[in-house]
Amino acid sequence: MDTERLSGKIAVITGSNSGIGAATARRFLAEGATVVAADRDPSRNPLVLARTDRVMGIACDVSEPQAIENLGVQLAEHFGRVDILVNNAGITGAIGRVHEYALEDYEKVMNTNVRGPFLTMRATIPLMLAAGGGSIVNVSSIGAVTFTPGSSPYSPSKAALLMMSKQAAIEYVKDGIRVNAVCPGLVETPILGGATDTLDLLANAVPMGRLGTPEEVAALIAYLASDEAGFTTGSATFIDGGHTAI
């Protein structure tokens, strides 16, 4: 990495143990940020285990309001400010059509994918206001605008997150807080499973003929989080190999 455009920034990343979250944490660290790795069990995070000076692990299950409240308290005590928030934690949920879907499973998806990002923004925005501004990047999905086979609440949850991003972008535009969404397509992460036949089948559905990588999504997130994207807010950027162009 030949740039440190995030130097001196305090960045909170949820769901940072693997996949896009882990790649984003590595990218942010390489670009000079101090990374707060928020996950249900940050002790499993390789960056936290490495005991790097600019990485702090905080246990946080975003589906639990008390855990997010505790996150906000720890951020205030340790740093007194937050410059960047990446709402990456999310789940696909159980498989089933609407009439087959258990309410408990539905609430689990919504609590993680919608309520969680709302509460993390509510906990960190006051710290951004105190710092004079900040950047929030919410990881939505192409599921926000396309059908997701088998998981009734997933696409609606990601659509809600997309609109939540736009809402917050306008509400805080005069406060120096930018809010943007990224909408990844099929990216090779643990959420897809590791079976070669399955991954090949999914890749064939992408116009580029391959799956995206977590690092490619992390690069986009790093740009949106940085001051280089200073005129960008309320955007939804699709990174999907042409999937939504079909």
- Residues whose CB falls within 8 Å of the CB of residue 199, separated by 6 or more in sequence, listed in order: 188, 192, 193, 211
Q: Has 154 been annotated as catalytic?
A: yes
DSSP alpha helices (H): ranges in 31-134? 46-49, 65-78, 103-110, 116-131
Count Cβ neighbours within 10 Å for each residue of 187-209 and write b for 16 or more, e otherwise.
Answer: bbbeeeeeeeeebeebbeebeee
Which residue out of 101, 106, 154, 172 is catalytically annotated? 154
Measured at the CA of 88, the angle between CA 135 and CA 205, to 5 degrees, comes to 120
Q: Which residues are catalytic?
A: 154
